[in-house]
Amino acid sequence: MSQPWTCILFDLDGTISDSAPGITASLGYMFEKLGREVPDPEELLAYVGPPILESFRVRAGMDEVESAQALAIYRQHYLEHNVHGSPIFDGIPGILKAIHRAGIPLGLATSKPEFPASVILDNANLTQYFRVLAGSSIDEIRSAKKDVVEDAMRRFTMIGVDTSRAVMVGDRLHDVEGAAAHGIPAIFVEWGYGAEEEQEGAIGVAKSPQDLHDLLLP
Q: Report the catalytic residues.
A: 11
Taking the C-alpha atoms of residue 212 and residue 136, their distance in angstroms, rounded to an integer, is 25
Q: In what order do the strands lie in the sheet with 186-189?
A: 132-136, 106-113, 7-10, 166-170, 186-189, 204-206
Backbone angles phi, psi at 215, to 5 degrees: -75, -30
Q: Other C-beta atoms within 10 Å of 99: how many?
A: 23
Taking the C-alpha atoms of residue 171 and residue 3, their distance in angstroms, rounded to an integer, is 23
DSSP state of 131: S
Question: Angle, nearest 10°, between helix axes 173-180 and 145-158?
Answer: 50
